[in-house]
């Protein structure tokens, strides 16, 4: 490409940077040693991040080629058909048009391919590759709503999810500031597992609610936590994170109790269960009264502790240890097994996604859904 073509690409780049963008870390749960790229649609400009001038080295990427990114002596190396194309401390890829996207696959460790729109940065962090997606926030939200809500839902649910995901993103822009991006793509922040699917209903939901967020009375971003299913009762934040969060309280939710993830059952060897209680919390298993309590545990409403607060066993610890779907469960000894009969999926704080989906099916508007789960929140631009 000549300098005129390069300068044209710079104009595209400057125009794209005028949009409100957000930095999202991708594949953040993996220690990336080698990464593969195929342009899925459109054209990308690849450059050294520290030399984005017309005299700097650059390459135009087209959909027909496959590129590999590797770490070598603290640098990112880019290969095409085994030939080194570029190396730098940090490399940027800039899209020509907003709909352009890239297909990314981890080679080491291996992963399935994911597709993302927007621009990208590939650098080194703690000796490994780090991939960051720099993307318009509304386009990002289309991917989030698709990842969080799946397909086949009603427009009001997607609209509600778009508002709370936008609010969450803007309220947590510094969550990963030490890693040089705002949010990760995992449920640690909010799921962003692929680019927008092209589903018209999801795109419409994001467009209809563009710029809308939830605020507190103090004009701060509302704490828009959400989860898959509350099992019929949302959870107090202090039961999960040891802190009260103004605006979020436990309440009965009848919309989700007959949905897909409302109930679950899990069997755990009794010896494994009791060993954990003894080793971690010094549970007095030899005490007759304590042993009797261990035979049966029931929650008529959500609780913070297992059996009784005096034992100091947080239900959230049992959920983490035994990979339970929620902390909302009953436990009964059956032979040599501890049988758990649970309700819900997720931490249970804030909006219940399956409950919100049912509300949308029953004809509630998105702002009614938001008021139900976040009473006192102010919907505004």
Instruction: Report phi then psi at 229, rounded to 5.
Output: -155, 130
Residues in the chain: 381
Per-residue pLDDT at 306: 97
Question: What would the pLDDT profile of 229-270 be if each residue is shown by its tens digit?
Answer: 999 999 999 999 999 999 999 999 999 999 989 999 999 999
**Percent share of the chain, pLDDT over 90:** 88
| pLDDT mean across residues, the chain | 92
Per-residue pLDDT at 53: 58
Query: What does the DSSP 8-state code read for residue 29?
Result: T
Per-residue pLDDT at 54: 54
| Contact call for residues 212 and 379 (beta carbons, < 8 A) | yes
Per-residue pLDDT at 369: 98
What 3 state SS string does 188-249 have? CCCCCCCCCCCCHHHHHHHHHCCCCEEECCCCCECCCCEECECCCECCCHHHHHCCCCCCCC
Helices 155-171 + 366-373 axis angle, to 10: 50
pLDDT score of 12 more than 60: no
Per-residue pLDDT at 98: 87
Per-residue pLDDT at 70: 96
Question: What would the pLDDT profile of 343-363 be if each residue is shown by its tens digit?
Answer: 999 999 999 999 999 999 999
Report the alpha-carbon distance of residue 16 to residue 42 in Å, rounded.
Answer: 15
Report the alpha-carbon distance of residue 172 to residue 175 in Å, rounded.
Answer: 5
Region class of 24: left (phi > 0), else alpha (psi between -120 and 50), else beta: beta
| Contact call for residues 263 and 342 (beta carbons, < 8 A) | yes
- The contacts of residue 160 (CB under 8 Å, 6+ apart) are 351, 356, 360, 366, 369, 370
Per-residue CA distances from 55 to 12, 51, 58, 123 (Å): 18, 8, 9, 21
305-324 b/e (C-beta count within 10 Å ≥ 16 → b): bbbeeebebbbbbbbeeeeb
Question: What would the pLDDT profile of 292-343 be if each residue is shown by its tens digit?
Answer: 999 999 999 999 999 999 999 999 999 999 999 999 999 999 999 999 999 9
- The contacts of residue 354 (CB under 8 Å, 6+ apart) are 228, 229, 255, 256, 259, 260, 261, 262
Per-residue pLDDT at 56: 59
- The contacts of residue 270 (CB under 8 Å, 6+ apart) are 333, 335, 336, 337, 338
| Contact call for residues 93 and 102 (beta carbons, < 8 A) | yes
For the chain, the straight-line distance linking the first and the last C-alpha, in angstroms and rounded, comes to: 43
């Amino acid at each position: 490409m000549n300098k005129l073509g390069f300068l044209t690409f710079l104009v595209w780049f400057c125009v794209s940077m005028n949009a409100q963008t957000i930095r999202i870390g991708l594949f953040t749960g993996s220690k990336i040693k080698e990464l593969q790229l195929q342009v899925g649609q459109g054209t990308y400009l690849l450059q050294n991040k520290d030399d984005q001038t017309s005299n700097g080295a650059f390459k135009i990427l087209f959909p027909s080629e496959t590129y590999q990114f590797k770490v070598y002596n603290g640098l990112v190396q880019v290969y095409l058909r085994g030939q080194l194309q570029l190396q730098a401390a940090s490399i940027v890829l800039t899209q020509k048009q907003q709909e352009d996207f890239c297909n990314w696959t981890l080679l080491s460790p291996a992963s399935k391919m994911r597709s993302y729109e927007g621009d990208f940065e590939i650098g080194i962090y703690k000796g490994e590759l780090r991939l960051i997606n720099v993307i318009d926030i509304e386009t990002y939200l289309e991917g989030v709503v698709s990842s969080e809500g799946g397909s086949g839902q009603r427009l009001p649910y997607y609209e509600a999810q778009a508002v709370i995901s936008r609010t969450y993103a803007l309220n947590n822009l510094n969550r990963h500031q030490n890693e040089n991006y705002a949010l990760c793509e995992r449920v640690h922040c909010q799921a962003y597992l692929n680019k927008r699917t092209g589903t018209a209903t999801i795109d419409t939901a994001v467009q209809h609610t563009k710029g809308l967020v939830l605020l507190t009375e103090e004009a701060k971003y509302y704490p828009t936590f959400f989860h898959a299913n509350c099992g019929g009762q949302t959870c107090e934040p202090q039961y999960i994170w040891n802190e009260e969060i103004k605006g979020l309280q436990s309440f009965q939710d009848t919309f989700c109790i007959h949905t897909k993830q409302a109930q679950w059952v899990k069997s755990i060897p009794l010896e494994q269960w009791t060993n954990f209680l003894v080793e971690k919390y010094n549970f007095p298993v030899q005490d007759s009264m304590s042993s009797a309590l261990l035979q049966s545990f029931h929650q008529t409403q959500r609780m913070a502790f297992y059996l009784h607060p005096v034992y100091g066993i947080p239900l959230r610890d049992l959920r983490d240890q035994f990979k339970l779907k929620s902390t909302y469960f009953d436990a009964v000894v059956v032979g040599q097994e501890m049988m758990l009969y649970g309700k819900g999926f997720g931490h249970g704080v804030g909006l219940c996604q399956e409950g919100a989906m049912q509300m949308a099916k029953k004809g509630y508007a998105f702002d009614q859904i938001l008021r139900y789960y976040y009473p006192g929140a102010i919907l505004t631009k």
